[in-house]
Amino acid sequence: MVIVVREIGLQLLITKKAVYLITDKENGKVYVGSTTSDYGMLLQRWRSYADNGHGWNKELVELINEKGYEYIKANFQYSILENYNAKVDDDIILERGSLWKEILQTRKYGYSSN
């Protein structure tokens, strides 16, 4: 899997917390995730997806078990919805992630279960 860094630069990925979106271009389902200090910054989180395709998310693990890692590499697109500096409280990041899950209805129609 190749993570393409467009316009934002590597420094942002290393130093920022974020709410991000993973889009399955094959079926339109989406997953909203967030990066907090507990799990490293954005680059570390996205590296976990590059390493195993699922970042330890239950629904994505199931998808890989069903369709394989090649499906993820061919069909997933990663986007940043919101980014924050490292000093922003993790609870704010988690609240914003939850709000995006509600807005995009990813718990009902996507890959988010939490």
Q: What is the pTM of this model?
A: 0.86
- pLDDT value of position 39: 65
**pLDDT over 50 (residue 112):** yes
Q: Residue 40, class by beta-carbon neighbours within 10 Å (0-12 exposed, 13-18 middle, 19+ buried)?
A: middle
Q: What are phi and psi of 67, to 5 degrees?
A: -115, -15
pLDDT tens for 62-108 read 999 999 999 999 999 989 999 998 899 999 999 999 999 999 999 99
- pLDDT value of position 11: 67
- Distances 14 to 31, 37, 58, 62, 65 between C-alpha atoms, Å: 21, 12, 25, 28, 30
Q: Percentage of residues in the chain with pLDDT exceeding 70? A: 87
Write the CB contacts of 88 (distance below 8 Å, at least 6 apart in sequence): 17
